[in-house]
Amino acid sequence: MTLTLGVLISGRGSNLEAVLGAIKSGEVDARVAVVVSNNPAAPGLSIACDYGAEAVGIDPNGYPNRSDYEAAVVERLNAHQVEWIVLAGYMKLVGKTLLHAFPNRMINIHPSLLPAFKGLDAQKQALDAGVKESGCTVHIVTLKMDDGPILGQVSVPVLPGDTVETLSQRILVEEHRLLPRVIQGLNSPPPQLSPSGEIEGPASLPTDRGGRTTR
Ligand code: GRF
């Protein structure tokens, strides 16, 4: 069944483009009905237009409070009867008005191996911490920032001499693979657990022993 998606962005839109490309190539059975940006000047809005999706900028500064802003976003999303919301570089915290409109139907991509390095500048946080491995995570959105059940993770090495730019680029390559894969997994029924906790039947995503999706 083809999923109807709404995508929220704030800027560049490379993850949005990865999703749109994966849909176009048939890798993902979904349709992006509408792309909403809190930044009306976001380059990602033109990417949405290039692929024929409705692209809307909704500036929070035009609303008296976050709830009214989010109500306007929800109205646009509901106008397209979207089933899942994808946060693809959406740089605003999600509040109750938005989340309660799509409970457990909103996913986010974050450039770290959550729960490590939540929030802004996750790649810099990883470099500063001196970890040997970082990566990206797709998770269900809750009211806690960069929290919620993890749907997929991919790790990348942190190499000697890495800068924020080189590490970010290595992670971004994997983001562009992971996000479409997780979205395609939303089409599958959740795996059934046996009484002993083993997964029976097709799991939506392959995982390695760390519970991360394999590449
Ligand atoms: C990505 O690194 C994503 O993980 C993070 O913000 C960045 C957005 O990049 N949440 P883009 O707009 O998809 O190019």
Give the pLDDT confidence of 93-120 residue by residue, as tens digits.
999 999 999 999 999 999 999 999 999 9
Query: What's the pLDDT at 78?
Result: 98
Q: Between 30 and 1, where is the model more confident?
A: 30
Atom of ligand 1 nearest to the CA of 136: 4
Query: What's the pLDDT at 208?
Result: 38
Enumerate long-range contacts of 39-45, CB under 8 Å, 24 or more apart: 39/10, 39/11, 42/9, 42/10, 42/11, 42/12, 42/13, 43/11, 43/12, 43/13, 44/9, 44/10, 44/11, 44/12, 44/13, 44/14, 44/16, 44/17, 44/88, 44/89, 45/9, 45/13
Average the pLDDT over each of 21-25, 157-161, 192-196 and give the range with the smallest value: 192-196
Q: What is the mean pLDDT of residues 25-39?
A: 98
CATH class as words, domain 1-103: alpha beta
Atom of ligand 1 nearest to the CA of 171: 2
CB within 6 Å of ligand 1 — which residues?
9, 11-15, 44, 88-89, 109-111, 172, 175
On whether the pTM is more than 0.75, the answer is yes
Q: Is the pLDDT of residue 207 over 70?
A: no
- Give catalytic status of residue 139 as yes or no: no
Q: What is the mean pLDDT of residues 137-165?
A: 97
Average pLDDT, the chain: 91
